Each structure stands twice: as structure tokens, then as C-alpha cells.
Structure 1
Amino acid sequence: MNFDLQQHIETQINQILLTDATYKWTSVGGGSINNAYKLSSGEQNYFVKTNTISVFENGFKEEVLGLEFLNKNEALVPKIIAEGRFKNAIYLVLDWIETGNKTTVFWNNFAEQLANLHQHKNHQFGLDYSNFMGQLPQKNTFFDDFTEFFIENRLKPQVVLAFNNGLLQKKHLQQFQHLYKQLPSIFPKEKPCAVHGDLWSGNFMNTIQQKAVLIDPAVYYGHREVDLAMSTLFGGFSYQFYQAYNEIYPLAIGFDNRKEFYNLYPLLIHLNLFGSSYLSSITRIISYF
């Protein structure tokens, strides 16, 4: 951690919270993109993530907006303490979340919390601003139809990027074109609802009160099945979670057969960010038809 940046962040926190505290910095895991720290002063702890404007030119503003979106739609998120830029560095300070064990009570609560988030509806699919999935821009242009939204805002931009970077070939483009024609018959019709947008096991925290706190969102008003599908992609969710969710807010029959088509989007994101190791999963899905 750059000393000047460290001093700047500490000053900002103290000014916002009207304190003159001194802090201890400890490096912690923060994913593959950002640097992350635990900032401690007595019994008070904060989570700090930093990066550079070369990665996120708007700083962490879209993440703050995403957390505010989730909070507005009654999801639990960390309290936002500070967000800003210092020279070429950007930072975000959140309340530290003390974690507990993932018990059956936790999974039942999480299912109820997610179902509640998905009950918040909108008249169109999309959002009135763009944001990010990982470090890649995510378009949220409004559409009345989810399939059209998914093709134009999710699949096509990532397919074009992957093709331009030599990660997809012309035969893959042809397969995607064929898939686009099939998707209207695959996705069930539902009203647009608030979604987290990047719901894998690294993007929630289990509190000692057995509640789920959502972090690192890629929010918009979408199809609720995108969150459920994403949660299956890398594992880490209990069977109890899916059972409880389906009891509270039942999914249309056939979700297990549809989830891979939703997951083409995060797989394409990973292809573009991390390379060709994700190509086999993509080609398997687009070869169904």
C-alpha cells in the first residue's frame, strides 16, 4: 500500500466519521482484480479495496451505485463509508463484515433474501446506466423482451470482443447466430426484477447473524434465473438454498436444462478476461442445436 494513499484514505474516513482514529492495515483476499485490506482501529474494522483508474476510469462509482440499488431493493449490503480517487489510485471503504458458519438456517435465510430481492419488479429489462461485470463494461440498454436484452446487451458484446481477440473463430460466430434464434423458446416469460447479476460464491458473505450480505454487484433489472444459474457455475451453494428458494418463489419447470444458456454470459466474460480455458464449456453449450 502506497503510504500517501494510505494517509489519504485514513484522513477521508476520519473526516466522514468525525474521528481522529489511527489505523492498522492488513492485506486480505480481494479477488483477482483489486487489492484489498482490513483497516482496524480498536474494535472498529473496515474493508478497503484499491485499484487504478486504468482499470476503472470512473473509480468504484458503479459499484457504489450497485450497492445502493441492492439496498433500495431491500437486500443486505455493507455500509458504504467512502469512495474516491487519489492521484491515479481509486478506493472504496466499506464496513467490515464478521462472518459466521454457513448453517441450514443461513441457507434458508439466504434463499428468502434472494427471493425477496427478485420480487422487486420493473417495467423493462435493463438499467439507466452501464456498469461492469468483473472489469469488463456491461451494457444495460432497456428492452421489453428479456431474450432481446440478453442477446444484445450480454452475449453479442462479449462474442465480438472474444472474436476480435482471437478467442473465438468464425464457426463459433455461426453457432451463436443459430443459438440466438433458439433462445426465445428457451427462456420462460417473467417480469423484469432486481438481480445481483454476478451471484457466485465469492460475492456474498455469511454474517454471524446467519444472514447473507451481498457484495461486488453487477446489477440491473433482469430475469431472476440469471442469479440462480450463476450460483451453480462455480459451486459453493448448498442444495438447501435451492430447495428453499423454490419453495418460496418456484421456478418454471426445466430450469436445470436452461441454466447453461444463462451462464454463457459469465463464461464469455471469463474467456475474455482469463483466456481459452473457458472455451470448451462455451462450445459445448452452443453446440446443442
Structure 2
Amino acid sequence: MSPEEILADRLREAGYAPREVQKAVGGVVAVAGLVTLQDGTELFAKTLLGPDRDVFPVESVGLSELRALGGAPTPEVLYASSRLLVLERMRPRRDDGQFWEQLARTVAALHLATVSDRFGWHRDGWLGRLRQDNTWATDGHSFFAERRILRWLPEPLVEAAFDREERRALERLCAALPELVPAQPPCLTHGDLWSENIVATGAGAPVLIDPAVSYTWPEVDLSMLWCSPRPDAAERFFAVYREAAPLQDGWEERMPLLHLRELLSVIAHDDDHWGAAEAVRKIIAPFRNGTRQRKP
């Protein structure tokens, strides 16, 4: 049975009547499809082929909170279980300056509306196939060090990718975080805000999908867009975001540092086909051999 047939079967189990399921591109965790029901209704659905996990229930709550608490447009969740997630169908985004300007105002409004005094979330989440520890904390530097960087070191593929001195360099970088990242309050963040997790409504407005939400520094969201592949028009995002939600000096230099969490996750998921480990080594180079020569 093909993955699309499995998805169709699970839709039927949930009470839907699929006429056609077309494989959706992108994503490494779930089997996703664009679904047309017998009555012509179009939906988006995805399922997991491995053991049942709470990936979809967590994603459903994350989408709902981004919309309810931060006003961010997200797809309506139509059904969510450990085996199946069904959403209203969105459309591919357009990549022009106007779209990215609108997205910048959306993300800035989300961040400004959800400022908190604690880092974390009320439940653990997922980044890809692996758990995201969202245990509440009041110290942002220790939260980011322990739950967003050092958390990846025990993963087998990360352990194999770096030698002892490189691992110690990561630990030294984490110890220096209070010097590298200025104190700033947390807010509700999307958590996996790269260009492939941004789609559009039928009218062309930005929509956020596939979150890994938590309350953390807003710059963490920006680092995903800054450091991941993006179209040229996305440059407008950063200028417009800074107008709506000013950033502290040196934010550009902090983008690679805050992206470490994503790079380590890529390695842990065996998706390092483009040089994530080398990117990590470049960031931690100043912290090798116990001597910090310059900021990363």
C-alpha cells in the first residue's frame, strides 16, 4: 500500500470520503497530501507512518495559539489525532515585496502581542521527529543553552559529528551566552519559521504552518528566516519588521548563533547534505581551545 493510500484509509477512518489524494511536496516527518473529497471540498491532510506520537495534537494547539494569542493567520484545524491531521487547504505563497512586508507586520504583531515573563510552553513539542523540551524557565540564557543547544549533544548523529573539543566549544559558547545575547523578554514564537513553512490564503495573504512553538527570544524566529534559504524579495521582511518591532544593536551578528539549534537538529535528523556540521564549526571556532578570539 502506498503512503497516499494509507493517508486515504486514515481519512476514511476519521469520517472523510476522499476522492483523490495527491502527494504534497516538502516535509520529512509525515506523509502529506492535497485531498479532494467526494463532494469536491479541498483539504490538506497528513499522517505518520511510525509509532503513534502526539505530534499532530501538539501542532494543532500551536496553530490555535499562534492565531488566538498573537493574531497570526494559520490554517483552521479540522481534525487532529495521533494518526491524522486535517487542515483547511492553503495555496502557495507569492514571492514579492508586498507579500514579505505583510508577513513582517504579521510576525512583529505576534511577537509584540505575546510578551511574557517565562521561557518555554505549557507542553513539550516537536522539532521534526525529535522532542522539543519546553519546560518553563525564567532565565532565557540558560533556557536557550540547555533546551535549544546542549539538548542536541546526546543525539547519536550529533555525537558522531563532533569531536570532544568541538563539543566543549559548544559548551563554552553556551556559558558565554549572557555576553553574546542581550537580555530580552520572551514572546510566543513560531519556532520553525523558514520559507517553506509560509504559505498563503486564496487571496494571497501570508499563513503560517508547521510550528514548533514556545515562548523565547523573538530573534530566534528571525534567525530561521535569516539563515535558511529564502527568495530575494524576503529582504523586505527584515526592514519592515524592524520598523514595527525595533531590534537591539548587533542583531545581524546574532542570527547565526541563534540558528545553532536548527543546525544541530538538521544533523540529528540525518539531513546534513549541505554542510550543517561545517556551519556549526564556523560558529563555534572562537570558542575552541578555551580561547575566545572574537564573537561568532
TM-score normalized with structure 2 length: 0.87
Query: RMSD of aligned C-alpha atoms?
Result: 2.0
Say if 2:158 and 2:268, in contact at 8 Å, map to a contact too.
no
Structure 1 counterpart SS, 2:79:
strand
| Counterpart residue number, 1:260 | 256
Counterpart of 1:47 (choices 44, 49, 54) is: 44
Say if 1:162 and 1:168, in contact at 8 Å, map to a contact too.
no
| Counterpart residue number, 2:104 | 111
Residues 98-138 of structure 1, C-alpha deviations (whole Å, 9 max, x = no match):
23522222111101000011011122011121111111111
Counterpart of 2:216 (choices 201, 214, 222) is: 222
Task: Quote how far apart the aligned CAs of 1:50 are.
Answer: 1.3
Counterpart of 1:244 (choices 236, 240, 246) is: 240
| Counterpart residue number, 2:270 | 274
Distance 2:125 2:165 in 1: 30
Task: Quote how far apart the aligned CAs of 1:32 are.
Answer: 1.9
In the alignment, structure 1 residue 71 sits paired with structure 2 residue 70 = no
Greater shift after overlay, 267-276 or 191-200? 267-276
| Counterpart residue number, 1:180 | 174
In the alignment, structure 1 residue 233 sits paired with structure 2 residue 227 = yes
| Counterpart residue number, 2:8 | 6
Task: Quote how far apart the aligned CAs of 1:250 are.
Answer: 1.1
CA gap 1:32/1:164 in 2 versus in 1, 3 angstroms: closer
Distance 1:43 1:197 in 2: 34
Residue 149 of structure 1 aligns with an amino acid whose one-letter code is F
Say if 2:60 and 2:77, in contact at 8 Å, map to a contact too.
yes
Residue 166 of structure 2 aligns with an amino acid whose one-letter code is H
Residue 279 of structure 2 aligns with an amino acid whose one-letter code is S
| Counterpart residue number, 2:127 | 133
CA gap 1:165/1:173 in 2 versus in 1, 3 angstroms: closer
Residue 42 of structure 2 aligns with an amino acid whose one-letter code is N
Structure 1 counterpart SS, 2:14:
helix
In the alignment, structure 1 residue 284 sits paired with structure 2 residue 278 = no
Distance 1:3 1:28 in 2: 13
Residues 164-207 of structure 1, C-alpha deviations (whole Å, 9 max, x = no match):
74222111121112212221011122111010011111111033
Counterpart of 1:170 (choices 139, 164, 178) is: 164
Say if 1:159 and 1:168, in contact at 8 Å, map to a contact too.
no
Residues 183-238 of structure 1, C-alpha deviations (whole Å, 9 max, x = no match):
10111221110100111111110334332111110001100000001111222151
Count of aligned pairs between the two proteins = 278
| Counterpart residue number, 1:17 | none
Greater shift after overlay, 168-177 or 201-210? 201-210
| Counterpart residue number, 2:155 | 161
Structure 2 counterpart SS, 1:52:
coil
Structure 1 counterpart SS, 2:60:
helix
Structure 2 counterpart SS, 1:217:
coil
Residue 283 of structure 2 aligns with an amino acid whose one-letter code is I
Structure 1 counterpart SS, 2:199:
strand
Residue 180 of structure 1 aligns with an amino acid whose one-letter code is C
Distance 2:201 2:276 in 1: 32
Residue 130 of structure 1 aligns with an amino acid whose one-letter code is D
Say if 1:130 and 1:138, in contact at 8 Å, map to a contact too.
yes
Say if 1:30 and 1:49, in contact at 8 Å, map to a contact too.
no
CA gap 1:162/1:53 in 2 versus in 1, 3 angstroms: closer
In the alignment, structure 1 residue 143 sits paired with structure 2 residue 137 = yes
Task: Quote how far apart the aligned CAs of 1:78 are.
Answer: 0.5
| Counterpart residue number, 1:152 | 146
Residue 11 of structure 2 aligns with an amino acid whose one-letter code is I
CA gap 1:125/1:59 in 2 versus in 1, 3 angstroms: closer
Task: Quote how far apart the aligned CAs of 1:2 are.
Answer: 6.5
Say if 1:80 and 1:93, in contact at 8 Å, map to a contact too.
yes
Task: Quote how far apart the aligned CAs of 1:43 are.
Answer: 4.5
Structure 2 counterpart SS, 1:23:
strand
Structure 1 counterpart SS, 2:78:
strand
